């Protein structure tokens, strides 16, 4: 494919299946999406992960001699290990040598590195992690933020999440007028905990967003909302629960469907249909979560990511770059701060 010019820096050392699956996903993305991938990490290990038929002239490796382990305290490790791959990735973005950063490594370290190296956008108190969930309406995903960056939030943080989420939904997901919901435990305005009640008032009077009101747990996947805001504690519990539920349902199907003779024949006949169901529920299709509010495009992938997830994460980063997410968020959040 002809290069479309986006330069994506990826931490080749981060993730349970690094560097092999990271490299495989990156090479596929470079070939099929036309992006230019910068593989960041230990050159020898990255080279060993390349298929033998690779044209080395097509592969750009950026050396980083250190890595941050999963059990390290992220902030101090990011500060101490200046040549860690995640730091080098962020530096490439900061210096304008890459348009976006991707990591499937320690997510806390990726956030810390993004904050320290790229800084926050003006008007943003706290960056948020936004995850795209499929809904009951096949073509209508919902962006949920924050799913883990900020465990204790103030109403104005959630307001900033709502504004950033609306911009992303509009320009990247293509929603004409994104409907924003506040994750809550009842439909009425007065419902919720202290944070939710105060945030509701704030979102109601914000003219930059189209606030539809409270979204209950049952509304999350209904397709009624395009953006749902919540604190990072609730959002993270929900994200991890949702990911696990998909796997559990598939296991129940595997256990119960083939039971008995009719079951065995029926299941054999249904094999292609079951595969399609698995795809509809598979979170690998979404590739990663966005870190919104830092001064750069960053995609945080699942630690368990294999090549297809990495490919999708790169596509996500490419779309954010192509649709100028940063440039569009910037004026919106700046005006928020000055109000």
CB of 112 to a second copy, least distance (A): 15
Min CB(138)–a second copy separation in Å: 8
- The answer to whether residue 76 forms part of the interface with a second copy (CB under 8 A) is no
Neighbours of 18 (CB within 10 A): 25
**Closest Cα partner for 51 from 63, 41, 59?**
59
84 is a contact residue toward a second copy (CB under 8 A) = no
Q: Which of 58, 80, 82, 151 binds a second copy (CB under 8 A)?
A: 151
Q: Which residues share a beta bridge with 7? A: 36
Q: How far apart are CA 184 and CA 230, in angstroms?
A: 8
Contacts of residue 87, defined as CB under 8 A and 6 or more positions apart, other chains included, come to: 64, 78, 81, 113, 117
How many residues make up the chain in this entry? Answer: 339
Min dist. Cβ of residue 184 to a second copy (A)? 8
Q: How many residues bind a second copy (CB under 8 A)?
A: 56
Of 220, 284, 292, 316, the residue at the interface with a second copy (CB under 8 A) is 220
Binding residue for a second copy, selected from 281, 308, 323, 328, defined by CB under 8 A: 281
Distances (CA, A) of 51 to 14, 25, 248: 19, 12, 34
Q: Specify which residues 36 forms β-bridges with.
A: 7
Least gap, CB of 148 to a second copy (angstroms):
6
Q: Distance between CA atoms of 36 and 239, rounded to whole angstroms?
A: 30
- Cα gap 292→325, rounded to integer Å: 9
Applying CB under 8 A, among 237, 331, 334, 337 the residue interacting with a second copy is 237
- Closest distance of CB 153 from a second copy, Å: 9
Give the integer Cα–Cα distance in Å for 325 and 298: 11
Kindly state whether residue 245 participates in binding a second copy, applying the rule CB under 8 A: yes
Compute φ and ψ for 287, nearest 5 degrees.
75, -45
Compare residues 48 and 185 and give the one whose CB is closer to a second copy: 185
187 binds a second copy per the rule CB under 8 A: no
The stretch near a second copy (CB under 8 A) out of 11-19, 23-31, 90-98, 185-193 is 185-193
The reply to whether 13 sits near a second copy by the rule CB under 8 A is: no
Question: Which tokens is 338 given?
Answer: 């000055």
Contact call for residue 269 and a second copy (CB under 8 A): yes
**What do you get for the CA distance between the two ends of the chain, in Å?**
46
Site for a second copy contains 137 (CB under 8 A): no
Q: Is 240 one of the binding residues for a second copy (CB under 8 A)?
A: yes
Question: Judged by CB under 8 A, does residue 139 bind a second copy?
Answer: no
10 φ, ψ (degrees, to nearest 5): -125, 135
Residues that bind a second copy (CB under 8 A): 136, 148, 151-152, 183, 185, 192-194, 196, 216-222, 230-234, 236-245, 248-249, 251-253, 256-257, 259-260, 262-263, 265-270, 272-274, 276-277, 280-281
């Amino acid at each position: 494919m002809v290069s479309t010019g986006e330069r994506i820096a990826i931490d080749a050392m981060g993730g349970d299946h690094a560097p092999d699956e990271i490299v495989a996903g990156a090479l596929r993305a470079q070939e099929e999406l036309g992006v230019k991938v910068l593989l960041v990490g230990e050159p020898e290990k990255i080279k060993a992960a390349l298929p033998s038929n690779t044209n080395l002239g097509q592969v750009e490796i950026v050396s980083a001699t250190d890595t941050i382990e999963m059990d390290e305290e992220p902030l101090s490790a990011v500060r101490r290990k200046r040549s860690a791959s995640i730091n080098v990735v962020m530096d490439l973005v900061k210096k304008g040598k890459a348009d976006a950063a991707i990591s499937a490594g320690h997510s806390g370290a990726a956030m810390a590195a993004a904050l320290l190296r790229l800084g926050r956008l003006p008007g943003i108190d706290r960056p948020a992690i936004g995850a795209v969930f499929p809904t009951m309406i096949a073509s209508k995903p919902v962006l949920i933020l924050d799913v883990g960056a900020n465990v204790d939030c103030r109403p104005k943080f959630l307001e900033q999440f709502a504004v950033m989420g609306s911009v992303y939904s509009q320009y990247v997901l293509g929603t004409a007028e994104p409907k924003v919901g506040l994750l809550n435990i009842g439909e009425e305005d007065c419902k919720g905990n202290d944070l939710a009640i105060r945030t509701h008032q704030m979102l109601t009077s914000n003219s930059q967003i189209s606030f539809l009101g409270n979204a209950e747990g049952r509304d999350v996947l209904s397709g009624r909302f395009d953006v749902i805001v919540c604190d990072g504690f609730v959002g993270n519990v929900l994200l991890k629960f949702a990911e696990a539920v998909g796997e559990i349902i598939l296991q129940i199907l595997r256990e119960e469907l083939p039971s008995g003779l009719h079951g065995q024949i029926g299941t054999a006949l249904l094999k292609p249909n079951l595969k399609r169901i698995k795809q509809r529920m598979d979170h690998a299709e979404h590739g990663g979560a966005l870190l919104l509010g830092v001064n750069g495009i960053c995609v945080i992938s699942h630690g368990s990511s294999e090549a297809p997830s990495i490919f999708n994460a790169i596509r996500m980063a490419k779309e954010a770059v192509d649709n100028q997410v940063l440039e569009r968020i910037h004026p919106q959040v700046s005006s928020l701060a000055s109000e």
